[in-house]
């Protein structure tokens, strides 16, 4: 694919509603929705209920203004901070936090959360619980030494990276540098959760192709080890998507513990 035709998520503007509708909505084809949404929610629910992850503070760095993945785990947390790369994604998150009527409707994923938890509390209660835990979103820029400059965030118990490292990193060296910047946000003994794509090269928003760094399991395992992490859980999920909106070979779900400062 001609690299001149590839756009970059953190540089080029896009319609965030187009992204949300395509990957995370009731309109999303079932095969893609399984990869993008259901599998992630199931993985995180298992991670927290099984004790793979502990702690009370979490920073979320995700592709798009998404909140659904936090619904199954927010009861375990006291404070959640969103880091976002785009101003328009920050505005969409603020709309949902403030219950604006034109915010994206996540009711379908709140219902999935009820099913995962075996709860009958209702989707509104689940969403309100998450709202009570989140702080105002913070803009980040990984071209800076401190991605949240001029804000200096306290270190947290857990950072979650959902499809971010591979879309903001132009090559593997940059990936490792960005991983180090993320690691600087995590306490020693804290956790990093990664959900991403193995051997992908692009994803689509509308009719535009956006960059994804191609890497395999061996690269990811080594990068995490070199950064002072111990792998607690590493799972590959078979690709369900049958359309060309993204070209990943499989999904990867990772939980690592920070055991040393590198």
Residue 256 binned pLDDT confidence (cut-offs 50, 70, 90): very high
The reported pTM is 0.95
Q: How many CB atoms are closer than 10 A to CB 173?
A: 9
**In the prediction, which pLDDT does 131 show?**
98
The pLDDT tens digits of the residues spanning 89-131 come to 999 999 999 999 999 999 999 999 999 988 777 888 999 999 9
> Domain containing 38: what range?
3-258
The pLDDT tens digits of the residues spanning 34-67 come to 999 999 999 999 999 999 999 999 999 999 999 9
Give the separation between CA 117 and CA 137, rounded to whole angstroms.
27
Residue tagged 């400059």 (tokens): 149
The pLDDT tens digits of the residues spanning 57-97 come to 999 999 999 999 999 999 999 999 999 999 999 999 999 99
CA atoms within 13 A on the CB side of 163: 25
Q: Identify the CATH number of the domain in which residue 12 sits.
A: 3.40.50.150
Q: How many domains does the chain have?
A: 1
Mean pLDDT of the chain: 95
Residue tagged 């689509």 (tokens): 204
């Amino acid at each position: 694919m001609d690299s001149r035709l590839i756009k970059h998520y953190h540089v080029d503007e896009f319609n965030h509603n187009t992204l949300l509708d395509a990957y995370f909505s009731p309109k999303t084809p079932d095969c893609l929705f399984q990869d993008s949404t259901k599998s992630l929610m199931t993985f995180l629910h298992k991670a927290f209920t099984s004790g793979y992850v502990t702690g009370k503070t979490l920073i979320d760095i995700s592709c798009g203004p998404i909140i659904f993945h936090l619904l199954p785990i927010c009861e375990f947390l006291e404070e959640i901070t969103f880091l976002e790369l785009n101003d328009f994604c920050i505005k969409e998150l603020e709309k949902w936090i403030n219950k604006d009527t034109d915010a994206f409707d996540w009711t379908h994923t709140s219902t999935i959360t009820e099913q995962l938890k075996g709860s009958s509390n209702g989707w509104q209660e689940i969403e309100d619980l998450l709202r009570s835990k989140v702080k105002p979103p913070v803009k980040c820029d990984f071209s800076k030494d401190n991605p949240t400059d001029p804000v200096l965030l306290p270190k947290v118990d857990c950072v979650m990276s959902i499809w971010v490292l591979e879309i903001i990193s132009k090559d593997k060296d940059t990936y490792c540098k960005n991983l180090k910047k993320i690691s600087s946000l995590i306490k020693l003994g804290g956790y990093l959760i990664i959900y991403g794509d193995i051997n992908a090269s692009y994803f689509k928003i509308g009719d535009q192709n956006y960059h994804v760094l191609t890497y395999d399991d061996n690269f990811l395992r080594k990068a995490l080890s070199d950064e002072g992490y111990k792998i607690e859980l590493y799972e590959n999920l078979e690709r369900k998507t049958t359309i060309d909106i993204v070209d990943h070979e499989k999904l990867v779900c990772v939980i690592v513990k920070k055991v040393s400062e590198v």
